[in-house]
Amino acid sequence: MTILEHKPEAAENIDIFQHLESEVRSYSRAWPTVFDKASGSWIRSVDGKDYLDFFAGAGALNYGHNNPVLKSALVDYIMGDGITHGLDMETVAKRELLETFERVILKPRGLDYKVQFPGPTGTNSVEAALKLARKVTGRESIINFTNAFHGMTLGALSVTGNSMKRAGAGVPLVHATPMPFDNYFNGVTEDFQWFSRVLDDSGSGLNRPAAVIVETVQGEGGVNVARPEWLRALADLCAEREILLIVDDVQMGCGRTGAFFSFEEAGITPDIVTLSKSIGGYGMPLALTLFKRELDVWGPGEHNGTFRGNNPAFVTAAAALNHYWNDDKLERETLRKGERIRQTFMNLSDMFDGVSTRGRGLVQGLVFDDPADAQKVCKLAFDEGLLAETSGPSDQVVKLLPPLTISDDELEFGLNILAEATAKVRA
Amino acid sequence: MTILEHKPEAAENIDIFQHLESEVRSYSRAWPTVFDKASGSWIRSVDGKDYLDFFAGAGALNYGHNNPVLKSALVDYIMGDGITHGLDMETVAKRELLETFERVILKPRGLDYKVQFPGPTGTNSVEAALKLARKVTGRESIINFTNAFHGMTLGALSVTGNSMKRAGAGVPLVHATPMPFDNYFNGVTEDFQWFSRVLDDSGSGLNRPAAVIVETVQGEGGVNVARPEWLRALADLCAEREILLIVDDVQMGCGRTGAFFSFEEAGITPDIVTLSKSIGGYGMPLALTLFKRELDVWGPGEHNGTFRGNNPAFVTAAAALNHYWNDDKLERETLRKGERIRQTFMNLSDMFDGVSTRGRGLVQGLVFDDPADAQKVCKLAFDEGLLAETSGPSDQVVKLLPPLTISDDELEFGLNILAEATAKVRA
Amino acid sequence: MTILEHKPEAAENIDIFQHLESEVRSYSRAWPTVFDKASGSWIRSVDGKDYLDFFAGAGALNYGHNNPVLKSALVDYIMGDGITHGLDMETVAKRELLETFERVILKPRGLDYKVQFPGPTGTNSVEAALKLARKVTGRESIINFTNAFHGMTLGALSVTGNSMKRAGAGVPLVHATPMPFDNYFNGVTEDFQWFSRVLDDSGSGLNRPAAVIVETVQGEGGVNVARPEWLRALADLCAEREILLIVDDVQMGCGRTGAFFSFEEAGITPDIVTLSKSIGGYGMPLALTLFKRELDVWGPGEHNGTFRGNNPAFVTAAAALNHYWNDDKLERETLRKGERIRQTFMNLSDMFDGVSTRGRGLVQGLVFDDPADAQKVCKLAFDEGLLAETSGPSDQVVKLLPPLTISDDELEFGLNILAEATAKVRA
Amino acid sequence: MTILEHKPEAAENIDIFQHLESEVRSYSRAWPTVFDKASGSWIRSVDGKDYLDFFAGAGALNYGHNNPVLKSALVDYIMGDGITHGLDMETVAKRELLETFERVILKPRGLDYKVQFPGPTGTNSVEAALKLARKVTGRESIINFTNAFHGMTLGALSVTGNSMKRAGAGVPLVHATPMPFDNYFNGVTEDFQWFSRVLDDSGSGLNRPAAVIVETVQGEGGVNVARPEWLRALADLCAEREILLIVDDVQMGCGRTGAFFSFEEAGITPDIVTLSKSIGGYGMPLALTLFKRELDVWGPGEHNGTFRGNNPAFVTAAAALNHYWNDDKLERETLRKGERIRQTFMNLSDMFDGVSTRGRGLVQGLVFDDPADAQKVCKLAFDEGLLAETSGPSDQVVKLLPPLTISDDELEFGLNILAEATAKVRA
């Protein structure tokens, strides 16, 4: 199914990772092989085995591995000695990206955002967003949500939920207060009952927040989907109380849920938006922070970063926008394929006890009551040539993030593997 | 002097930057042109003007722009569909880099470091270093130095000196206490008088620190050079009191001062080392965190980041190590060229009042008593086709960071421009 | 009704307060007169007007003003040159207090507490409690409740709800997270729904707490009464998760709700208890911190305070315990009188719209939907010779804290004033 | 030498302290006896032994134990049913104190301070001072000094130096940075070299401070005396940079160093002054916070405390001011007696190696190179009937704080004991 060439490697070398790489390594433990090449939805190990990739760089490869359209633009740029490293100097590649981003993304959606290049990763973008929100409001406190994931640098980590990752900080994480994400109590509680009450009670002990930071779908948190009406109510609640709304679209943006921005379905306009992962298109580091024009109170150089001008990623980013976002075909296909997964997962939920499903567009989760089952399914899938990871606080969710460009046959092939693995584990 | 082709652009487009990019942009204000292409020590604007680059991506381009050796490896890798985005999965490119790094860098220097991929930027590496130091020691406090620069995410920013950048945090920066960098008092005070005294006085009010973080030469801080004996005394002081020593070699590592690591000259072995900027070789985002084997107490996934496996940068990193670091030629050349700059700057210091110089290897500063003079020199240089930036708390230092691969003629060309600009400003 | 002598003062002197005392003064604005003498339930102004005191030093005068039993012991002690100021030296007065406290209070209740003298105020006791909880558990985070009040020093303030008081800190208050107090949602939500869920969800983003601090009745917060079953569930929740339970009994202890400790009714045994206000008996500064024997991990002098050995207050404290707590008479009387107030307030609630009531023992609140009404009632009462203050986040509650020793006639007299004032305001 | 009556106590009761009082107790370990009565400079144990008190309640008993002038006023007040507990209501006793304080203290010194009653202890006063400084300036950072002691609540503790006491906080203490106190480097360094440099260097990493808090003589820190010229330079440095100067005069105020305020000798006018310990005169809890009129930006009730209106202490405070501060007799006597101690200590320093001395007025320290010697001297003194405590980070200083009212004979008697003990230990 793939046309990658096979180049065998000497087995004796394999333990350099164990010898030299820190114990912090993680994915390499779940998928114990050495990967070599990749193309589209497929990734090949050094011993020649092909894996269908339902993981897609944790959402950084929405257009597949080594997408030929982007590859062509990238190689042309490199061969033509285009600027590689540009900090925040003006370059032709950056101009192209800005123009494209405005024409293809912002203008058609009526969004009057300024664009910041905060450094090339999602956590850089979140740090910039939090700084800006604090500067604009003069307040320090941030509201985050249960099971949120926003990054691993100190500012982003303080708004992240996972207790193991938080403990890694080595200092008490402060200035953030978690609130219940949508459906945290399975519908028995009115939305924002707690949040709106403590905001409006001057004796509640909640520091008045600068901003709320939210993912529309919590990927790392276990594919928790916020309903559009919940997001709208959240946006209203923020607007009424002059609290900035930050949508962290690092993983769910760039079409993962269908539309380019994951918040479009809800019809809201966040004050600040973070983008990374698939914005570069080709899997190279890039991040943007978007914010309403009137919030652009930054002083020159008040936030910076050596790799904020990763020009080859500007080139592939612009190429991806031009190729995939000038019409609504990708969006429609994403929704159609997402529905295809949902149907399979609904069937599995019906067939097996202790299994349920949730998701939006091409982020779909198969939820197991027993987290061990989710692990087993992913393990079996790997053995059968499929990469899928678990997420959620107990790793109880098999989370699918296939490339948006996956073919129907590939999707079918992968879903069959997962169905069989689920049957084996739960039957 | 360069062979870049010239592709003119329409002038009417230039204000997309003003219209769309955040006010946070900085370099584009100092160098008001749109850059298009680059090669070696040269960078060309869209209107065809060539600039000699004495700035080199703030130290991220030690091997010059679009170095042909690295470019060739990079393009081959991309054309061959090598893995682009790999998180911390094991890949052929990563294996190659680890093996090369151990063989070319660690082994010959007798360094038994583990290697962490903390995310692709210097600030990621600093955040990982601080987290690890806190986890290992169970203490939260860090000692940094006056005029330090370590990055812009919240953890790294808290150990950074610049008041404007610190204010951008929007929360009080805590858990770090500044100490005087070498020669902060122009030699009138004994080294570590204050630091060692407060460490040893149980009533001093200083929280017992987990670690000291230091740059051997403070680039952003104004080309402040720590003497080898000061670094040795610092290392001893830390060792005696069981405080971890972190050398932030993001800007000064990878040969900038001569040897691969900037601390080699002092003969010390830090507990933790951060690398980024030129470690990728080609200007693409990459960072490493190195630490002594016994400090590797990370749990799997306790620190992560989407772009920590930027495989194309692994390829160029390995190629750069192989090409430039198998012998001591680059190191010798760097020292020789650095000496060349120093001579010029010494002459300027002798000729003009209010001018002095300091530096090590190929980071050299021309210091003006009047900061306005430094600005003027850089402005004149830009007009004459030379990129050089100022640094220091008052931007009073013209800081040179030319590519290590610069030719003698190029160096001469650039130094002449600077000498003439200095003469114009100070005469 | 009182036998205080009247000593007129020159009116021209009265503005020394305006001239010299800080704008921070508060009660003197609500009750614009100069008080001179006091006895039992009465306090007399310098111009000879007597006020019935339904406020009792904010709960510091449970045994009335200048209680003759305590006065006698106090004067004897002073006249006999007993130690006045003793830090934490062993003294006869302290020995007497410790023995009495153990015999009269701890033993009969089966409480094996150690006793700390943390400094002579409630906020000192709260600070000591928080320090100890953090030291015992090695965690820094504390759970407090909406509308809690625990004191004004930085540690105590961080667990206090009132936004105006919190803002006074001038630094972001951290390390505490508010949870909903009992009945915060008027019964529509299951108890501890939010708290137990975030504790048990490792992805919730809540720092694992060292302790929970709670008042059984929130006096300053608006006379919010926790139900016994809620307190028991809270104690169980803490015990199961190895979180220390601190009951702040500064205002509600010493018999205010009937039993000596306000938590006795619920049948729980807190890990740590704070006492102050009426523990000294005579209105002189004194505070105790009690904790389970096994929690006494303090090192000598690890917490201290110049006035922690206020020996005259030890004398009056022991006298009060001996006189009032050797049998259950005071407790029964408190409950009977509390019921008397409740009946009056129930009637007022029935008679007037926008009025309701809540309370326990001799802390009873008359709640007005419109905060302005509560102010007016207190103002009218003052004019009629009754001191009562408002509380709650909007000052919407007329809070009664009469001396426990108040006579039935005095109670009747005061309730009539309040009833008439309420009628005037609401009719 | 004393006329206290002797009332024997049963020895079997003595262990209630061990059984019931927390391990945090401290002085009772150094002076293992039960004290019963006290008068003037003497304190008597329950077994009838008299001790001369060179400790005076850690400076809270400047006028001696149970001073008859104050006792008389106090008993009259209590017998006359004066207000005991008054929060911040206006009372006759408070009016008397304010008028007296203005007439006797403020006016003659030309001080236009407002007076706050922040709660009855030194740490309350420090907390109020820090809050006010932060509110006025809008900054959060405070500068403190090595070996400072300001109190044990969280705000005050964060500006305190002692590492054992700091560790008791259980949370990282932040928002304060220590600077070297006068003579920290034995004169080899220019005053404020470090402090003024980091203040003026925008790259130093020091958060711009709201205030400096300083003791003119550090009592707990080891009787470290700031020179008048150092204090003047500090005041100038603060004034030039718009940083508030807080003098913590809790221990050194009220005449301990001669003049009423310890800063008078230097001729400076602090922005904020804290008073406690001896301000009440009789050893009962009282504290004041003084600040320049224009700094009184407090809102009503923004800081409070149940025992801020300890009226019996107002009475003794006013009596002490009237009796001792209407002329300069006490000041002259204090200086004369201090000189007497200094002479003895100078002689001891001359006679014995490893002994030196420092002090001001009636706070004088005998410093031993070997801390064990200081312990031994205090132990021997206790055995001979003299109370004196050690201070300093290693407890190497025998610190004398005798009552200011001590007689020459008493002073002689005590100094002889100390001289003999020193001789025994060092000879």
Closest residue in C to B138 (Cα) is C138
Please list, residue by residue across D234-251, b when 16 or more beta carbons sit within 10 angstroms of its beta carbon and e when fewer do: bbebbeeeebbbbbbbbb
Rounded (10°) CA dihedral B230, B231, B237, B239 = -160
Helix axes D193-200, D228-240, angle to 10 degrees: 0
pLDDT tens-digit map of D392-402: 999 999 999 99
| Continuous segment of H or E residues that includes residue A75 | helix A68-79
Closest residue in C to D66 (Cα) is C81
pLDDT band at residue B180, thresholds of 50, 70 and 90? very high
pTM recorded for the entire structure = 0.96
pLDDT of B6 strictly over 60: no
> C172 — contact with chain B (CB < 8 Å)?
yes
The Cα of A278 is separated from the nearest Cα of chain B by a number of Å equal to 10
Residue B11, pLDDT score: 46
Distance CA A40, CA B165 (A): 42
Distance CA D128, CA D133 (A): 9
| Continuous segment of H or E residues that includes residue C231 | helix C228-240
189-218 in chain C: CB under 8 A from chain D: 210
Distance CA D194, CA D207 (A): 14
Q: Which two tokens stand for residue A238?
A: 């923020």
Closest residue in D to B198 (Cα) is D146
pLDDT tens-digit map of A156-176: 999 999 999 999 999 999 999
Residue B310, pLDDT score: 98
Q: For chain D, list residues with pLDDT below 50.
A: 1-11, 13
Query: By percentage, how much of chain A surpasses pLDDT 70?
Result: 97
User: Which residue, chain included where needed, has tokens 């001395």?
Assistant: D357
Residue C322, pLDDT score: 98
pLDDT tens-digit map of A87-140: 999 999 999 999 999 999 999 999 999 999 999 999 999 999 999 999 999 999
Residue A93: CB atoms within 10 Å: 26
Residue C16, pLDDT score: 96
Helix, strand, coil percentages (3-state) for chain C, rounded to 5, are 40, 20, 40
The Cα of C153 is separated from the nearest Cα of chain A by a number of Å equal to 15
Say yes or no: ipTM exceeds 0.85. Answer: yes
pLDDT band at residue A190, thresholds of 50, 70 and 90? confident
Rg (CA), chain C: 21
Residues 6+ away with beta carbon under 8 Å from B412: none
> C188 — contact with chain B (CB < 8 Å)?
no
Tell me, what amino acid is at B337?
K
Asked if B238 and B212 touch (Cβ cutoff 8 Å), the reply is: yes
Interface partners of C (3+ CB pairs, < 8 Å)?
A: A, B, D
> B173 — contact with chain A (CB < 8 Å)?
no
Residue B401, pLDDT score: 98
Q: For chain C, list residues with pLDDT below 50.
A: 1-11, 13
The Cα of D288 is separated from the nearest Cα of chain A by a number of Å equal to 28
Extended beta strands in C147-235, E state: 176-179, 209-214, 217-218, 224-225
- Comparing CA positions, the residue from B114, B121, B161, B110 lying closest to residue B136 is B114
**Residue of C34, C80, C276 with shortest CB distance to D90:** C34
Q: Judging by beta carbons within 10 Å of its beta carbon (0-12, 13-18, 19+), is residue B427 exposed, middle or buried? A: exposed
User: Which residue, chain included where needed, has tokens 């001891």?
Assistant: D348
Task: List alpha helices for A208-328, DSSP H.
Answer: 228-240, 311-324
Asked if D273 and D253 touch (Cβ cutoff 8 Å), the reply is: yes
According to DSSP, the β-strands at A34-39 and B209-214 are: unpaired
Distance CA C139, CA C153 (A): 20
Chain D positions touching A203 (Cβ under 8 A) are: none
Q: Which two tokens stand for residue D193?
A: 């070299």
User: Average of pLDDT values for B152-157?
Assistant: 97
Please provide the distance, in angstroms rounded to a whole number, between the alpha carbons at the two ends of chain A: 30
The Cα of C23 is separated from the nearest Cα of chain B by a number of Å equal to 28
CA angle B195, B154, B296 (to 5 degrees): 70
Residue C5, pLDDT score: 41
- Comparing CA positions, the residue from A24, A55, A3 lying closest to residue A382 is A55
Residue C343: CB atoms within 10 Å: 12
The Cα of C207 is separated from the nearest Cα of chain A by a number of Å equal to 8
User: Average of pLDDT values for B308-328?
Assistant: 98
pLDDT tens-digit map of D357-406: 999 999 999 999 999 999 999 999 999 999 999 999 999 999 999 999 99
- Comparing CA positions, the residue from C196, C113, C177 lying closest to residue C139 is C177
> D154 — contact with chain B (CB < 8 Å)?
no
User: Which residue, chain included where needed, has tokens 């020009």?
Assistant: A311
Residues 6+ away with beta carbon under 8 Å from B141: B175, B176, B177, B206, B207, B208, B209, B210, D172
Q: What is the DSSP string of B157-199?
A: HTT---HHHHHTTSS---SEEEEPPTTTTTTSS-TTHHHHHHH
- Comparing CA positions, the residue from B342, D230, B368, D264 lying closest to residue B377 is B368
Chain C positions touching D307 (Cβ under 8 A) are: 60, 120-121, 284-285
pLDDT of A293 strictly over 80: yes
Q: Which two tokens stand for residue D163?
A: 């590492």
**What count of CB pairs under 8 Å joins A to D?**
3
Q: Judging by beta carbons within 10 Å of its beta carbon (0-12, 13-18, 19+), is residue D387 exposed, middle or buried? A: buried
pLDDT tens-digit map of B388-399: 999 999 999 999
Residue C187, pLDDT score: 79
**What count of CB pairs under 8 Å joins B to D?**
113
Asked if D105 and D281 touch (Cβ cutoff 8 Å), the reply is: no
Q: Judging by beta carbons within 10 Å of its beta carbon (0-12, 13-18, 19+), is residue D50 exposed, middle or buried? A: middle
Chain A positions touching B303 (Cβ under 8 A) are: 24, 152, 165, 168
Residues 6+ away with beta carbon under 8 Å from C76: none
pLDDT tens-digit map of C121-162: 999 999 999 999 999 999 999 999 999 999 999 999 999 999
User: Which residue, chain included where needed, has tokens 């490869």?
Assistant: A61
Residue D190, pLDDT score: 84
Chain D positions touching B202 (Cβ under 8 A) are: 162-164, 393-394
Query: By percentage, how much of chain D surpasses pLDDT 70?
Result: 97
The CB-side HSE value for B291 (13 A sphere, CA atoms) comes to: 27
User: Which residue, chain included where needed, has tokens 């070996």?
Assistant: D147
Q: Judging by beta carbons within 10 Å of its beta carbon (0-12, 13-18, 19+), is residue D8 exposed, middle or buried? A: exposed
pLDDT of B74 strictly over 80: yes
Query: Residue A354's Cα: distance from chain center in Å?
Result: 27
Distance CA C298, CA C154 (A): 21
Residue B120, pLDDT score: 98
Annotate A388-417 with three-state secondary structure: CEEECCCCCEEEECCCCCCCHHHHHHHHHH
Distance CA A307, CA A313 (A): 11
Please list, residue by residue across A201-231, b when 16 or more beta carbons sit within 10 angstroms of its beta carbon and e when fewer do: bbbbbbbbbbbbbbbbbbbbbbbbbbebebb
CB contact under 8 A, D171 and A171: no
pLDDT tens-digit map of C330-350: 999 999 999 999 999 999 999
Chain C positions touching A173 (Cβ under 8 A) are: 207
Residue A8, pLDDT score: 43
Rg (CA), chain A: 21
User: Which residue, chain included where needed, has tokens 């009552």?
Assistant: D403
Chain D positions touching A173 (Cβ under 8 A) are: none
Residue B188, pLDDT score: 80
Q: How far is CA C83 from CA C74, D13, D38, D405, in A?
A: 12, 19, 5, 17
Closest residue in A to D170 (Cα) is A172
Average pLDDT, chain A: 95
Instruction: Please tell me whether residue B387 adopts helix, strand or coil conformation.
Output: strand
Interface partners of D (3+ CB pairs, < 8 Å)?
A: A, B, C
> B338 — contact with chain A (CB < 8 Å)?
no
Tell me, what amino acid is at A257?
T
User: Average of pLDDT values for A47-61?
Assistant: 97
CB contact under 8 A, A304 and B24: yes
Polymer length in residues for chain C: 427
According to DSSP, the β-strands at C90-91 and C113-116 are: unpaired
According to DSSP, the β-strands at C363-368 and C397-400 are: antiparallel
User: Average of pLDDT values for A230-236?
Assistant: 98
User: Which residue, chain included where needed, has tokens 């004897």?
Assistant: C76
Distance CA D235, CA D242 (A): 10
- Comparing CA positions, the residue from D63, D50, D10, D23 lying closest to residue D278 is D63
Chain A positions touching B65 (Cβ under 8 A) are: 81, 83-85
